[in-house]
Structure 1
């Protein structure tokens, strides 16, 4: 049915409803155009960018390109340079892909660029009272939450306390791979297994109570469903369409309700395990992230502590932040070791010479120079995501001679920095020796200068950076120690195309052949 036929039929069958709908639509469009003009009259001297239509901006150009968003951005970098403006409906984005601009904004002037843009309505459903570490506005609530997470949970000393949880998860990972390989003639799915291992570690760290595999699977399914729910949709860019998203909003509210009901059960188990251990049947860890939250004063001097809904939100972001990114890093890492068998052999030789025939332990990682170089090159070549979490400015400012207004999304495109030929020699090549030889190096915190920023840099740098590198180093070491990895089908080339699904994963999921190594 054509649009004209649809309108005629609707007018005949539902004249009052249709005319009301049409009046709302026209009024909304007029108001949107007026708002757009006023909005842009106050935003002069923005960085250059592709011209767009009123209201919708560059949405149609992006849709017509048929490209993934990061591919579209790469195309525009070639045209407009390392800082440009892109308008997607109501969102104005300033895209930055230059190391010196990133350093100036996030390190030299970190406080100005340390806030976040306003979240979409769907995201707010899952961010109870906006109490989250990753998306809270720059201010006292964010400082309190982040300080608690870093000092009480992610410090190097605290991380060591979870060594047994990591060992247990690594042992499960190896057994899962062995079992899957046995049932599938040596074939295993890399991302699925590595992601499960990362999730198990984080669950233990977060809740501190033992979970059955059925609960683990359900928790994972719920977290994944929520990530899909908050992924930006068309109405997030065009708020005028929000009234037509009632079904999506209702589904999001239902997901949130289900999540709260499910997670609160484990919150209550943890409370019982630590406050009434004699009356609890739970096998509990000595410490968990939840323990730091029960009596936390979110605002200094206040008597208010997080509600159950707040606790669910904080636990959810802790789990989501480290699961997909770690799993994806392992998938890319194994893919590079398959494509570069000489690197895999060198890494195995280092592991063998360091630990002999016993299983790799965390304390061994510090002695493995080549392993650390492999992981650092992995993070340079395959950062967990193409963009850092969106930044915003706390007050109007300028960068590179352009105005940066309050309310715009500032997006840092990571491959534009970590693959910049002005910074790196042969940047597309996977070459851990660049770090071993000292020929090239980079401080991933960005303090000494930005050359790669897989975890962001500055005040909003990922608080879990230290934990993530521990997990990736240990997981790759154990997987290489236990198995020889090769391509499937034999003789084929690894497809290194990527796509963004919460984290950057391989467009064609990696299924690899494994051969158990002899252990005496």
Structure 2
């Protein structure tokens, strides 16, 4: 009897062991299947996929996506990063899961260059909402943009006159230098109530170099951001360069603010943007106040993003048209029919220039100012296309790759504005709702300056096309169209061109 009881107990123990073992393995299999990460490259020990990105990460990620698919997972040091490479994948993250990916991961660029207090890299919360609100209300929103339209007209007039004078001397025009000079003054008129640079020269060129350096260094994949214990070593020298650049910008911004305060009595009640945000440093019924550091960081965002991203799009568009003279001629013909040659283009003319609008869209597609969207990070674990995305995963959307995808665009390497002239593509808009074309991003963290960027590109590019005939400098038979990676996609070799007036001489008078 005792032996029977012992046998039954042993049998029961074995059964229980088998039950729990089977249950454990079954649950493990289900658990793993439910938590399957997206496919992606294996990467290197410790560094993960960082060495695979090279000097042109947008191109490397585009090529990797051909192998691993539209949702790809890369181990980046101690972090995970998911990459969306198609319109549907971008929509899943930036629309369906927008709120979950509304924060930014910490990085050296925001901490060092952005004072660890800027709007662009701030977490999605009360201060970010507040700064975005006052920026829209007083500078970037529809009414605010209408209110400072006259500054755009005045500053573009100065630029046209400088180009007109260069044409008379048969000198090539350095396009990015001209654009920075004009656009920094446009933004300066709104923020400071005055021109930042009275004349184009060493000061405006130094400012442009600083902006390009900021956009380049802030866009690099810094090893210290992905492997924190290596950050003190600054293996790539990125952070030491950022610290030097930060000191230059801080001196410039401090000088701007001090001069602005010293001339307050001259404005006689005419408040500019800096006057308004300074008030919020003293009191704000909504609860949020801005420190001097917040204000400097906000000005840095507005001056750099307000000049560099739009100017790069304009430069790429002009370069493409110099490569394709038939497109330039067709734009001239359309403008001559709608505007004539007796006056300058006005912002209200843009709506009547469908082919020119198609040129802008085609430039956004082939040369988006931001090739990879500014990084986001998941607040909670989630699922996309059946794949598990852990909490704390960085998100990168390859905007450049979507624009080059042959499954989305026919002959994507060709610059062909006609693709936007008919059919479904004619209705595509770059403001963040059509995920085939999202040069400014999408969702809650879409670029705050989207409206301003589109207006500046339309107005300045349209005016430059309408006002001048364009030719390559003597001895130059072909343009270098290579890219330099950063937050903004620069032309490696700045565009220089010969221009000749095509309007009545009165159109160039200030």
So what's the TM-score if we normalise by structure 2? 0.82
Rounded to whole Å, the distance in 2 between the matches of 1:429 and 1:162 is 36
Name which of 477, 492, 503 aligns with 1:507.
Answer: 492
What pairs up with 1:332-347 in 2 under 5 angstroms? 332-347=316-331
Change in 2 beyond 3 A, CA 1:253/1:53? closer
Report what 1:37 is aligned to: none
Report what 2:430 is aligned to: 444
* Contact 1:209–1:270 (8 Å) recurs in 2: no
Name which of 119, 125, 135 aligns with 2:112.
Answer: 125
1:46-84 CA-to-partner distances (Å, cap 9, x unmatched) read 211111233111234445xxx522222122112111111
Query: Matched residue of 2:180: which SS?
Result: helix
Give the superposition deviation at 1:457.
0.8
1:399-458 CA-to-partner distances (Å, cap 9, x unmatched) read 1112222222200001332233333333333222232334523132343x4221000011
What pairs up with 1:18-417 in 2 under 5 angstroms? 45-63=36-54, 68-120=56-108, 123-128=110-115, 130-183=116-169, 185-213=170-198, 216=204, 219-227=207-215, 230-232=218-220, 233-245=222-234, 252-253=242-243, 255-273=245-263, 276-277=264-265, 280=266, 286-296=270-280, 305-356=289-340, 357-417=342-402
The higher radius of gyration belongs to 2
Query: Matched residue of 1:152: which SS?
Result: helix
Rounded to whole Å, the distance in 2 between the matches of 1:427 and 1:230 is 28
Rounded to whole Å, the distance in 1 between the matches of 2:383 and 2:299 is 37
Rounded to whole Å, the distance in 1 between the matches of 2:53 and 2:95 is 31
Give the superposition deviation at 1:319.
1.0
Change in 2 beyond 3 A, CA 1:287/1:479? farther
Rounded to whole Å, the distance in 2 between the matches of 1:193 and 1:116 is 33
Give the superposition deviation at 1:272.
5.0
Change in 2 beyond 3 A, CA 1:238/1:504? same
Q: What are the ranges of 5 or more consecutive residues in structure 1 without an aligned counterpart?
A: 1-40
Rounded to whole Å, the distance in 2 between the matches of 1:90 and 1:111 is 24
Change in 2 beyond 3 A, CA 1:53/1:346? closer
Change in 2 beyond 3 A, CA 1:489/1:95? farther
Rounded to whole Å, the distance in 2 between the matches of 1:389 and 1:495 is 27
Query: Matched residue of 1:145: which SS?
Result: helix
Q: What are the ranges of 5 or more consecutive residues in structure 2 without an aligned counterpart?
A: 1-31, 506-510
Change in 2 beyond 3 A, CA 1:110/1:123? closer
Report what 1:485 is aligned to: 470
Change in 2 beyond 3 A, CA 1:112/1:95? same
Rounded to whole Å, the distance in 1 between the matches of 2:495 and 2:401 is 25
Rounded to whole Å, the distance in 1 between the matches of 2:412 and 2:133 is 36
Report what 1:9 is aligned to: none
1:302-332 CA-to-partner distances (Å, cap 9, x unmatched) read 6562122221110001111121111111111
Give the superposition deviation at 1:162.
1.3
Change in 2 beyond 3 A, CA 1:162/1:285? farther
Change in 2 beyond 3 A, CA 1:202/1:127? same
Give the superposition deviation at 1:506.
2.3
Rounded to whole Å, the distance in 1 between the matches of 2:204 and 2:193 is 13
1:134-190 CA-to-partner distances (Å, cap 9, x unmatched) read 11111222111112212332122210121221112212222332344455x442222
Rounded to whole Å, the distance in 1 between the matches of 2:335 and 2:435 is 31
Rounded to whole Å, the distance in 2 between the matches of 1:219 and 1:137 is 28
Change in 2 beyond 3 A, CA 1:477/1:227? closer
